[in-house]
């Protein structure tokens, strides 16, 4: 019995680590471009990492990724062109309106300060604050994806150290239910309507599907 329990724990740790990897890669792909991320999606390294991670943590989504998402993630443009595509897609509203990667633009528009305070509370509960030098608000998509990247890694660390993972599991459930699973469908719809760069269309599609599937997985873990 102990052997079976140990195998189940090891499998859950592996899934948590790979879930963390997926959230981290989504944050990289949907964050402001840098030379390293551009290189990783140009040579295919980050695409392979995402495929391998999904095969471990979300095998039902791995085939969809391979067939529908992966072909659109390979960059063939220069870094300067990629940066310009990001700005057009999400920042400058020219020559066409841009899509918004801020939760407060999609939900709670009339009370965004309360949303920001709630997100700050989530982050501070785990000792995290936004880097003031980055000029980013707490409701950016990258910040929320990075928070899930952090929580899933902490769950794996707790289990590796023989500690209960419950607090991290509940935090993931609550954060997904209250935030990412609520507004990612709205982001995906707006990106589909406004953005022509298939790299970003594919990543927002994946982010929506992964967050929803991940929530269902967490609920199963909590109930088991």
CATH of the domain at 57: 1.10.3480.10
Average of per-residue pLDDT values in the chain: 94
The two tokens of residue 32 are 């402001």
The two tokens of residue 8 are 């189940």
**pLDDT tens digits along 56-69:** 999 999 999 999 99
pTM above 0.85, yes or no: yes
Match 């929506």 to its residue by tokens.
Answer: 208
The total number of structural domains that make up the chain = 1
Residues in CB range of 149: below 8 A, 6 or more apart = 20, 23, 24, 27
CA Rg value for the chain: 18
**pLDDT tens digits along 78-114:** 999 999 999 999 999 888 899 999 999 999 778 999 9
Quote the CA–CA distance of 219 and 135 in Å, as a whole number.
34
For residue 25, pLDDT beyond 90: yes
The two tokens of residue 163 are 């500690």
For residue 103, give its domain range.
2-223
């Amino acid at each position: 019995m102990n052997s079976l329990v140990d195998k189940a724990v090891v499998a859950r740790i592996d899934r948590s680590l790979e879930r963390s990897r997926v959230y981290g890669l989504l944050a990289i792909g949907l964050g402001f471009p840098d030379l390293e991320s551009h290189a990783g999606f140009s040579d295919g390294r980050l695409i392979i990492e995402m495929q391998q991670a999904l095969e471990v943590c979300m095998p039902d989504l791995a085939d969809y990724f391979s067939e529908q998402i992966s072909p659109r993630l390979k960059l063939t443009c220069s870094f300067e062109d990629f940066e310009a595509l990001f700005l057009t897609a999400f920042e400058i509203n020219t020559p066409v309106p841009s899509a918004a990667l801020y939760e407060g633009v999609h939900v709670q528009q009339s009370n965004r300060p309360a949303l920001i305070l709630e997100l700050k509370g989530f982050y501070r509960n785990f000792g995290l604050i936004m880097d003031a030098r980055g000029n980013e608000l707490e409701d950016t998509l990258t910040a929320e994806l990075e928070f899930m990247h952090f929580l899933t890694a902490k769950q794996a660390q707790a289990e590796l150290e023989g500690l209960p993972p419950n607090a991290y599991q509940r935090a993931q459930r609550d954060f997904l239910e209250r935030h990412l699973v609520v507004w990612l469908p709205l982001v995906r719809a707006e990106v589909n309507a406004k953005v022509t760069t298939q790299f970003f269309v594919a990543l927002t599609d994946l982010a929506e599907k992964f967050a929803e599937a991940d929530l269902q997985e967490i609920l199963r873990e909590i109930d088991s």
